[in-house]
Amino acid sequence: MRFKLIHENHNVVDLDRSLAFYDQALGLREVRRKTAADGSFIIVYLANDQSDFEIELTWLKDHPEPYSLGDEEFHIALSVDDFEEAHALHEKMGCICFENPEMGIYFINDPDGYWIEILPVRQAGNR
């Protein structure tokens, strides 16, 4: 039996803001969308051509307030081929929330507070 990772869900308060953030910060774009007939939810899947893995953004009509993310200890990780360029972009966007220079990594926050680890390609292969 073999399992394949396919997506991770993030519930979001403002879908348009989140779509813009993931596009600008990570180059992830909408690949498909599901909208409830009654308008109660919208699910958007984001991806790029670097991986089959997707991020699923879920907007719920009846949940307009921010989600509780607990201690924010969970995260997804993305490797990047130009770490310095990515860091400069994220610094300009003001979304870097934690840096660990000793490990050569940093984290960004999406608009809803989800943490995203950014690491150079050379480190990603060593995990």
Model pLDDT for residues 61-78, shown as the tens digit of each residue: 998 888 888 776 789 999
- The enclosing domain of 36 has a CATH number of 3.10.180.10
Asked whether residue 117 is domain-assigned, the answer is yes
49, burial (CB in 10 Å: exposed 0-12, middle 13-18, buried 19+):
exposed
Respond yes or no: is residue 73 known to be catalytic.
Answer: no
Q: Which of 65, 85, 99, 117 is catalytic?
A: 117
Specify the pTM. Answer: 0.87
pLDDT at 4: 84
Asked whether residue 33 is domain-assigned, the answer is yes
Asked whether residue 101 is domain-assigned, the answer is yes
Q: How many domains does the chain have?
A: 1
Contact 27, 6 (CB under 8 A): no
Asked whether residue 102 is domain-assigned, the answer is yes
CB atoms within 10 A of CB 24: 14
| Region at 43 (left for phi over 0; alpha for psi -120 to 50; beta for the rest) | beta
What pLDDT band is residue 3 in, cutting at 50, 70 and 90?
A: confident
Give residue-wise pLDDT tens across range 8-52: 999 999 999 999 999 999 999 999 999 999 999 999 999 999 999
pLDDT at 91: 98
Cα separation values, 54 from 20, 29, 36, 45, 82, Å: 16, 10, 20, 6, 21
Domain residues for 54?
Answer: 7-62+74-124
What pLDDT band is residue 124 in, cutting at 50, 70 and 90?
A: low
User: At CA 30, angle to CA 104 and CA 90, rounded to 5?
Assistant: 30
Give residue-wise pLDDT tens across range 81-123: 999 999 999 999 999 999 999 999 999 999 999 999 999 987 5
